[in-house]
């Protein structure tokens, strides 16, 4: 790598692209779901309009809340931005000192998760605490799966840096169809769905307090705080979906920074994300939320798949 | 078929075998388990066919056809017939070990399979040998299903999983078995499944349920 210049350009571009795309992505998912259910829906731009409205409002904080409620949304937003900057969505150029190592990315993700859970606990309401406790349970079961699944992908490459894994997949597209890759991508998909609070683990559109996970945590937030929390979560969803699609179809990702290359990469990323989001929303229409006590079953299953992916990486001996 | 495609195909078949075995333990509904067993039968048949084409062995290709027909089509049909007459009880309601724990056990059993197949793995580094632990793992999964499920049809599925595991190990290590031996083994399995199917329907006709845990007392 020649200096950190190209890496900085890439990171900034990724953050800007994802900041623009993630609300549109949510809008797309809601629209697809609405159309499939025979409703008109709010349109692609509705999440953007919601964000603008919330940003103009002053946050109301309950009596007895501490600085955690003020800092939490900021920490979540910051961690999401770091994740967006680090994951190799547009290009595989890395910083010298801060590679987009798997363990770095997962720990930054976890930082955001903890911030969100603390926001839920801070107001001291019953629902907030319930949501946080459920969220942490799910997070504790999801993290090992994410680590194991990407670890399985990293064994053939010999590096846990995500960019190197994507590089290797670009160089050898046939490796996408190998057993290791299929098993770990399956495990990763379940983990991403659980981590971002989509069906069947959490219903993002629910207003039934007893089943809420994500919504229960942000119940007490309002105004700007709520806007940051929502945007932070949407960014996480976009980054994780992007990572998944990049691992599944690495085409379009550039290995050195140039303006046309980045433009093309941004267009491909938009197409891939739109496709993935449309698919996810379509599948969600046919799914019901799992009972909370059945969720560990699903996550244990995804953990086993990730584990098998690790063992399967010893399965295919070279020629 | 080049060496690398061959290795990839063997690896892919092994992965499908392993994945379907895991999903059989994961799913509760009996029809889904039977469908997965059929998928596993197809994967085993394709694996044998790949081995046969690679070795240029006509007899092995015939064995592949036999495996496909028996494990991919006939046995799932027989099992479906065993479940079709039931009313409502199409799920394994109360396994002795709950699904989450069984899934974790699967991970441990896979590790065990890798440990016990170390001597086999030491024989060489060809891709069929590298896939042998999958066969051992399937055998162990079969034992798990046999020992933790209560429903008669579930136990039958466990038995077939076990049989598929043994078959996988045999094909991967010995490069196939003679047609006569495979024919004998297949007929045995078919006969066992048919007898057990009749037995299951008799149990259900007698007790209205196929829960084997109810069969603990002798009466006349």
CA distance A176 to chain B (A): 12
**Which pLDDT value is given to residue B6?**
84
Q: Where residue A317 falls among pLDDT bands split at 50, 70, 90?
A: very low
pLDDT at A318 over 50: no
Return all residues near A262 (Cβ < 8 A) that are at least 6 apart: A9, A10, A13, A90, A91, A254
- Alpha-helix runs per DSSP H in B2-126: 3-26, 30-55, 58-67, 75-84, 99-116, 118-121
Question: Does residue A200 have a cis peptide bond before it, meaning omega lies within 30 degrees of 0?
Answer: yes
A279 or B220, higher pLDDT:
A279
Does the distance separating the beta carbons of A183 and B19 come in below 8 Å?
yes
**Which pLDDT value is given to residue A28?**
93
Closest of B1, B13, B4, B3 to residue B172, by C-alpha: B13
Cβ-Cβ contacts under 8 Å, B7 against chain A: 316-319
Q: Is A316 on the interface with B (CB under 8 A)?
A: yes
- Please name the residue of chain A whose CA is at the shortest distance from the CA of residue B15: A179
Query: Residue range A154-178: average pLDDT?
Result: 83
A65-90 pLDDT, tens digit each: 889 888 999 999 999 999 999 888 88
B114-170 pLDDT, tens digit each: 888 888 888 877 778 888 888 999 999 999 999 888 888 888 899 999 999 998 998
A208-240 pLDDT, tens digit each: 777 778 888 888 888 899 999 999 999 999 999
Select from B5, B8, B135, B172 the residue whose CB has the most chain A CBs within 10 Å, as the one to mutate to test that interface: B8
DSSP assigned state of A256? S
Instruction: Lowest mean pLDDT of A79-83, A240-244, B59-63, name the range.
Output: B59-63
With H, G, I as helix, E, B as strand and everything else as coil, classify residue A40. Answer: coil
**Which pLDDT value is given to residue B97?**
84
Q: Is A183 on the interface with B (CB under 8 A)?
A: yes
Is the full-model pTM beyond 0.80? yes
Q: Is B3 on the interface with A (CB under 8 A)?
A: yes
B118 or A18, higher pLDDT:
A18
Does the distance separating the beta carbons of A297 and B100 come in below 8 Å?
yes
Q: Is A148 on the interface with B (CB under 8 A)?
A: no
Does the distance separating the beta carbons of B130 and A314 come in below 8 Å?
yes
Contact by Cβ (8 Å): A129, A107: no
Query: Residue range A2-29: average pLDDT?
Result: 88
pLDDT at A316 over 60: no
**Which pLDDT value is given to residue A1?**
45
For A166, the token pair is 């994507």
Q: Is A312 on the interface with B (CB under 8 A)?
A: yes
CA distance A198 to chain B (A): 21
CA distance B137 to chain A (A): 11
**Which pLDDT value is given to residue A275?**
93
Q: Which of A177, A314, A316 sits opposite B7 (nearest CB)?
A: A316
Residue with tokens 């509904």: B29
pLDDT at A39 over 80: yes
B81-112 pLDDT, tens digit each: 877 665 555 666 677 888 888 888 998 998 89
Select from B6, B26, B103 the residue whose CB has the most chain A CBs within 10 Å, as the one to mutate to test that interface: B103
């Amino acid at each position: 790598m020649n200096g950190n210049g190209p890496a900085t350009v890439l990171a900034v571009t990724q953050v800007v692209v994802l900041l623009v795309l993630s609300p549109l992505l949510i809008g797309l998912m809601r629209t697809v779901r609405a159309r499939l259910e025979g409703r008109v829906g709010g349109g692609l731009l509705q999440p953007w309009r919601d964000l603008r409205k919330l940003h103009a409002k002053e946050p109301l904080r309950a009596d007895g809340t501490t600085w955690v409620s003020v800092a939490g949304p900021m920490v979540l937003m910051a961690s999401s931005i770091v994740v967006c900057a680090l994951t190799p969505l547009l290009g595989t150029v890395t910083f010298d000192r801060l590679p987009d190592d798997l363990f770095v990315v997962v720990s930054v993700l976890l930082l955001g998760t903890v911030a969100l859970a603390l926001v839920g606990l801070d107001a001291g309401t019953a629902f907030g605490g319930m949501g946080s406790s459920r969220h942490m349970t799910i997070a504790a079961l999801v993290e090992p799966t994410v680590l194991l699944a990407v670890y399985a992908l990293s064994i053939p490459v010999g590096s846990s840096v995500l960019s190197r894994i994507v590089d290797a997949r670009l160089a050898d597209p046939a490796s996408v169809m190998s057993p290791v890759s299929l098993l770990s991508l399956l495990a990763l998909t379940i983990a991403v769905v659980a981590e971002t609070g989509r069906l069947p683990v959490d219903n993002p559109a629910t207003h039934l307090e007893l089943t809420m996970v994500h919504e229960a945590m942000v119940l007490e937030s309002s105004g700007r705080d709520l806007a940051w929390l929502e945007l932070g979560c949407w960014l996480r969803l976009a980054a994780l979906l992007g990572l998944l699609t990049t691992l599944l179809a690495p085409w379009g990702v550039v290995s050195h920074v140039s303006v046309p290359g980045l433009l093309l990469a941004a267009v491909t990323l938009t197409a891939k994300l739109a496709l993935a989001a449309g698919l996810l929303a379509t599948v969600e229409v046919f799914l019901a939320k799992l009972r909370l006590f059945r969720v560990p079953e699903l996550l244990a299953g995804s953990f086993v798949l990730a584990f098998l992916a690790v063992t399967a990486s010893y399965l295919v001996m070279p020629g | 078929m080049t060496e690398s495609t061959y290795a990839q195909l063997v690896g892919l078949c092994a992965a499908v075998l392993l994945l379907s075995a895991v999903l059989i333990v994961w799913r509760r509904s009996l029809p889904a388990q039977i469908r997965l067993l059929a998928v596993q039968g197809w994967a085993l048949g394709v694996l044998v066919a790949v081995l046969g084409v690679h070795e240029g062995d006509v007899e092995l290709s015939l064995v592949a056809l036999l495996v496909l027909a028996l494990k991919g089509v006939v046995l799932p049909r027989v099992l479906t017939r065993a479940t079709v007459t039931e009313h409502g009880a199409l799920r394994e309601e109360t396994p002795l070990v709950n699904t989450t724990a069984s899934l974790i056990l699967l991970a441990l059993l896979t590790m065990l399979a890798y440990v016990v197949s170390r001597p086999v793995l030491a024989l060489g580094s060809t891709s069929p040998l590298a896939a042998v632990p999958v066969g051992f793992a399937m055998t162990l999964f079969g034992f798990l299903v046999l020992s933790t499920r209560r429903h008669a049809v579930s136990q039958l599925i466990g038995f077939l999983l076990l049989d598929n595991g043994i078959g996988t190990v045999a094909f991967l290590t010995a490069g196939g078995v003679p047609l006569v031996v495979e024919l004998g083994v297949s007929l045995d399995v078919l006969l066992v499944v048919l007898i057990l199917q009749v037995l299951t329907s008799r149990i259900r006709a007698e007790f209205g349920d196929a829960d084997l845990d109810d069969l603990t007392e002798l009466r006349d």
